[in-house]
Structure 1
Amino acid sequence: MEKKVEDYIYELEKLIELADQEKDKYLFIDPAYELIDEIEELGNAFNFVEPIFLLVERSPNIDFGGPGPFGSFLEKFYHNGYEEILVKSLQRKPKEYTIYLLERLCNDESNPKRKEYCSLLDSLK
């Protein structure tokens, strides 16, 4: 049986819970890279962008890595819809990790929306 988006999100959620309980970020980061590799091979990887942001929103503030498995995956969709979904996530429930991802957008001096992103960042601090 083929795994669905929800199945992968559930597995990632369990890894986050374990890392939080054990206070060991690598219990999330290392296996999450393997799951992200599987997701990237599916052919519908963009369908995971919003569910991953929703997962981060409901997760404890653990160290997801910098940028870690999520950031490395999500940023592959930079200039292809990622930024809008990140902004929506920040408007719903800003988290340390999503603010960090926004900071990375602000560092791109060639981005035409850089001022908008930096204004949002200032409003969140």
Structure 2
Amino acid sequence: MNTALNSIFTTLAEAAEQSRAQGDKWIVIDCAYQHLDALRLHDYPQVLEQILALVETYPELDYGGPGPFGMLIEAQAIAAYEGALLASLARQPSCQVLGWLSRTMQLEDAERNALGLISRARFAQLLEDVQVHPSVPEGCVDFAQFCQEDDQPET
């Protein structure tokens, strides 16, 4: 793993710990913005892996919507990150990752199918799985329910 990248994520983990301790989301968000340009210089899959590991370690934190990490992630094609988001949610649900995945559901079904992305039925099942996950953080159940309601077809 890249030493410079590890150094950035050590700093981000310290900021996340401070955010948790002080109840101030802006500590980690501001830190992420400070490192955003440097993160863009690194190998995207490694950066994504580190972002998700950080969020899984501090799943209760708010990293912005979509926030600096979301901006970095969403600059790629959905197919480049959807699988990693799904795996992250299976390991440790978080509102943040669920929010990023939910944003991908804005694509029309035909486009989702053409790109080989998850179906609405798979997303609905994922939302159910998140709600019963043994380590789902407080508030994430409500957010998963909100996503279920938001993803219902309009009549």
Smaller-chain TM-score bracket: 0.7 to 0.9
Report Cα offsets for 1:16-36 as digits up to 9, x if no partner. 111122222111112211212
1:119 pairs with one of 88, 110, 125 = 125
5+ long unaligned stretches in structure 2: 132-155
Distance 1:60 1:88 in 2: 14
In the aligned structure 1, how far is the partner of 2:70 from the partner of 2:81?
Answer: 11
The residue identity in structure 2 corresponding to 1:10 is: T
Alpha-carbon deviation of 1:3? 4.2
Aligned residues of 2:36 and 2:68 also touching (Cα < 8 A): yes
**Is 1:77 matched with 2:54?**
no
Cα 1:50–1:8 change in 2 (3 A) is same
Mapped to 2, the partners of 1:75 and 1:118 lie a distance apart of: 21
Deviation at 1:99, TM superposition (A): 1.4
Measure the CA separation in 2 of the matches of 1:26 and 1:79: 27
Contact 1:108-1:114 within 8 A present in 2 as well: no
The gaps in structure 1 that reach 5 residues or longer are none
Deviation at 1:60, TM superposition (A): 4.5
Q: State percent identity of aligned pairs.
A: 29
* Aligned twin of 2:60: 61
Offset of residue 80 of structure 1: 4.3
Is 2:6 the counterpart of 1:22?
Answer: no
Number of equivalent positions: 123
- 1:104/1:26 CA distance change after superposition, 3 Å: same
- Structure 1 CA distance, aligned partners of 2:80 and 2:102? 17
Which residue does the alignment assign to 2:137?
Answer: none
Change (3 A) 1:66 1:56: same
**Are the counterparts in 2 of residues 102 and 121 from structure 1 also a CA contact under 8 Å?**
no
- Please show how residues 83-94 of structure 1 align to structure 2 within 5 Å: 83-94=82-93
Q: 1:50 is matched with which residue?
A: 49
Of residues 61-70 and 107-116 in structure 1, the stretch that sits farther from structure 2 once superposed is: 107-116
TM-score scaled to structure 1, two decimals? 0.84
